Structure 1
Amino acid sequence: MAIMAPSFSSLVFTVRRCEPELVAPAKPTPHEFKQLSDLDNRDSLRFQIPIIQFYKYNPSMQGRDPVKLIREAPSQILVFYYPFAGRLREGPGAKLMVECTGEGVMFIEADADVSLDQFGHAIHPPFLCMDELLYDVPIIDHLGNICLICSLVVTRLRFSGFIFALRLNHLMSDAPSIVQFMNAMGEMARGVCAPSIPPVWQRELLNARNLPQVTCTYHEFDELVKPQSLIINFLHELACCSFFCGSTLVFAIRKNIPHHLGKYSTFEVLTASLWRCRSIALSPDPEDQVL
């Protein structure tokens, strides 16, 4: 199937995809049901996270097909991450669970008649051709079940180099766990026998032991606007742009942190700084609480 991508900095190219295939675990895996936690069981998480990575030509990969190497890695890593090879189901009370069926993840091989250099020197969001390099997988079956958990697309580029794209259901992973999964898949592609960090499923720890009960009325929340309304009303005022925070900026922010507060990771420093900027931009009333 050939797809003509839209203009990206005056760049137009064609993507040819092979038919999607399912990559199952390389070894038999348990057939069981795994309950998602109370935190996971939210409508706001029922979507797929798109990730796209660009890789330039590496001389050490001369004569080796990235599609073949990456196709073999999921089958190996799914032996350890076997819930990802299953399907999401909806149980009693709309409670979600994973049926570990071992069916596998969707894998798509593709070729694009464009080189990596043609995308320019600064490839960063918003990337207008993202939909053409991903694959829009239907995740709902005829019964309304959220089925597919993960899909992978590997696109060869002209003059070597390739693009790796992934869609992973947010019900199954947040950002750190996606990174862990992708690192583990990279390890398997390099020939290791097991991931350096083994996955653990202990989502029952995040379930409420006792159902919450409201014991009094909180009138301070009577006039709050629903978050969904806020999102709809202000979408037209949002702009999508990218900010790149180098070591110099991080060092400058760290210099302003009082020593008695201790040490913080780069992620914590940047998140706190962005939150302060957000709060200032909102220009809240002094009597209001910033959420």
Structure 2
Amino acid sequence: MAPQDPLVFEVRRREAELVRPARPTPREYKRLSDVDDQEGLRCQIPVIQFYRGDSTGQDPARAVREGLARALVLYYPFAGRLRELPGRKLVVDCNEEGAMFVEAEADVTLDQFGDALRPPVPCLEELLFDVPGSSAILDSPLLLIQVTRLKCGGFIFALRLNHTISDTAGLVQFMNAVGEMARGADAPSIRPVWQRELLDARDPPQITCTHREYDQVEDTKGTLIPLDDMDHRSFFFGAAQMSALRCRLPPHQQASSTFEVLTACLWRCRTVALQPDPEEEVRVLCVVNARTKFDPPLPAGYYGNAFAFPVAVTTTDKLCQNPLGYALELVKKAKADVTEEYMRSLADLMVTRGRPHFTGVRSFMVADTTKIRFGDVDFGWGKPVYGGPAKGGVGAIPGVASFYISFRNRQGEDGIVVPVCLPALAMRRFVRELDALLNDPPPTTTTTTKSTFVISSL
């Protein structure tokens, strides 16, 4: 869990280009859903994939560029630009302007990354170059892709997504389509489905559920994390670490999912590290994929934002002074709140209240990407050595979000890696608190033998 030694290398880039669909596509305006265009999704999210090369001499940049152009024929909204209508309603102008593409080379091998083959990725700003004028939410490319060849023959695929157009599940669906087309397929195995009206508000809108994730909380004490002096680290949780956490729970809670246990742990450690006032409210927002919450479920090819931010709320004092099981029960209840009616109510809230941002004041957000399968995306060189989010703390509010990412460490142990972004002093306190939970003897009232551990799937 120690910070990684810095890895410095040079990246040489060609001039950025716009990749348009390989064939003409419909010229039209397509409305985003009322879940898509909320303020909290008007941001860019970075993803990165590391691949080993082969001896064929084929150019990965060319393969990805051609696969992208072919995939954009079906996913043509990704080649358009966002416009804003009255009422802050976002639509895609499907004008075939294209996705931004950058081709580059780096004087580094894959093996030189070592333990840095996980977030925070070194030199990310060079591996995913912010092309001037490309990062605005409106009237800018919805996708920026950079393919960087390495001197060992491997390559890095990095992507930046305008979050309003898709969630990570939809993004991986698109990336798989690019990979399939790059490998010569005539069509992707999953056909894209737009149908954003499925997550539009009702007429008239009816807010029927409680959505405390959108509470308007004033930051009276300056608790939003500043951008300066930020420390980015990642933490690995394998079977041993998860067993240590479950050992702190009473028997009836030990079968809780890995997501629930880990979220309770990190929320508590992070709150201790940031030291809010004891009586102040703190919250954790759990990103919950709602595709299967509908009856019938959303179509398999739906690639819009189809998730909610259910929230658990308590005070600093209660969270930090109670056993870990207290936080766990709050997390489990928040997850259970998401139903089809909750999603309908959420869309209604957006149009009723002006598409608000979720509150970032004393908030922590976690998103599980382990089931999304970034690690299966194949552009013709097999599966990536690492695939997934490039760093934590992304979004419109710095330092708030962390991701759970499938990861195999250098010892060959499978687990989850979690990028965390905190001010340097708070990060030191976070590390101490987490180390105590993982290594100190648990309270005798909740100690159980190792034979009783139940390692649940996420």
TM bucket, shorter chain: 0.7 to 0.9
| Contact kept in structure 2, 1:140 and 1:146, CA below 8 Å | no
| Equivalent runs, 1:104-143 vs 2, <5 Å | 104-137=98-131, 138-139=133-134
Point out the structure with the larger strand share: 2
Counterpart of 1:209 in structure 2 is: 202
Counterpart of 1:47 in structure 2 is: 43
Q: Hey, what's the Cα distance between the residues in 1 that align with 2:250 and 2:67?
A: 43
Q: Hey, what's the Cα distance between the residues in 2 that align with 1:164 and 1:53?
A: 5
Q: Aligned-pair distance for 1:225?
A: 2.7
Q: Aligned-pair distance for 1:275?
A: 2.4
Say whether residues 1:241 and 2:237 are aligned partners: no
Q: Hey, what's the Cα distance between the residues in 2 that align with 1:182 and 1:46?
A: 21
Counterpart of 1:21 in structure 2 is: 17
Q: Aligned-pair distance for 1:101?
A: 0.9
| Contact kept in structure 1, 2:82 and 2:140, CA below 8 Å | yes
Aligned with residue 67 of structure 1, among 48, 61, 64: 61
Q: Hey, what's the Cα distance between the residues in 2 that align with 1:202 and 1:250?
A: 40
Matched residue SS, 1:120: helix
| Contact kept in structure 2, 1:89 and 1:147, CA below 8 Å | no
The TM-score, its normalising length taken from structure 2, stands at: 0.51
Change (3 A) 1:231 1:56: farther
Q: Which range is displaced more, 94-103 or 227-236?
A: 227-236
Q: Which runs of 4+ in 1 moved over 4 A?
A: 211-215, 227-231, 233-239, 247-262, 285-291
Q: Aligned-pair distance for 1:245?
A: 3.6
Counterpart of 2:260 in structure 1 is: 272
Change (3 A) 1:214 1:175: closer
Q: Hey, what's the Cα distance between the residues in 2 that align with 1:44 and 1:159?
A: 40
Say whether residues 1:38 and 2:7 are aligned partners: no
Q: Aligned-pair distance for 1:235?
A: 6.8
Matched residue SS, 2:152: coil
Change (3 A) 1:186 1:93: same
Q: Hey, what's the Cα distance between the residues in 2 that align with 1:64 and 1:243?
A: 35
Change (3 A) 1:246 1:169: same
Change (3 A) 1:55 1:257: farther
Change (3 A) 1:48 1:135: same
Q: Hey, what's the Cα distance between the residues in 1 that align with 2:149 and 2:122?
A: 19
Q: Hey, what's the Cα distance between the residues in 2 that align with 1:234 and 1:111?
A: 34
Q: Aligned-pair distance for 1:19?
A: 0.9
Q: Hey, what's the Cα distance between the residues in 2 that align with 1:36 and 1:224?
A: 24
Matched residue SS, 2:236: coil
Cα RMSD, aligned residues only:
3.7
Q: Hey, what's the Cα distance between the residues in 2 that align with 1:228 and 1:34?
A: 40
Q: Hey, what's the Cα distance between the residues in 1 that align with 2:177 and 2:37?
A: 26
Counterpart of 2:75 in structure 1 is: 81
Counterpart of 2:88 in structure 1 is: 94
| Contact kept in structure 2, 1:33 and 1:97, CA below 8 Å | yes
The TM-score, its normalising length taken from structure 1, stands at: 0.78
Q: Deviations over 1:26-78 (max 9, x none)?
A: 1111111111111222222222111111112234xx22111111110001111
Equivalent position amino acid for 2:117 in 1: I
Change (3 A) 1:271 1:161: same
Q: Hey, what's the Cα distance between the residues in 2 that align with 1:258 and 1:97?
A: 50
Q: Aligned-pair distance for 1:85?
A: 0.8
Change (3 A) 1:233 1:31: same
Counterpart of 2:54 in structure 1 is: 58
Counterpart of 1:5 in structure 2 is: none
Q: Hey, what's the Cα distance between the residues in 1 that align with 2:42 and 2:266?
A: 26
Say whether residues 1:232 and 2:220 are aligned partners: no
Q: Deviations over 1:231-267 (max 9, x none)?
A: 62577797532233446666888998989999x9xxx
Equivalent position amino acid for 1:107 in 2: F
- Give structure 1 stretches of 5+ with no counterpart: 1-7
| Contact kept in structure 1, 2:44 and 2:135, CA below 8 Å | no
Equivalent position amino acid for 1:270 in 2: T
Q: Hey, what's the Cα distance between the residues in 1 that align with 2:221 and 2:182?
A: 45
| Contact kept in structure 1, 2:8 and 2:123, CA below 8 Å | no
- Give structure 2 stretches of 5+ with no counterpart: 273-315, 320-325, 331-362, 364-458
Equivalent position amino acid for 2:265 in 1: C
Q: Deviations over 1:197-254 (max 9, x none)?
A: 1111121121111354789xx9x9xx97347987625777975322334466668889
Equivalent position amino acid for 1:130 in 2: L
Q: Which range is displaced more, 167-176 or 109-118?
A: 109-118
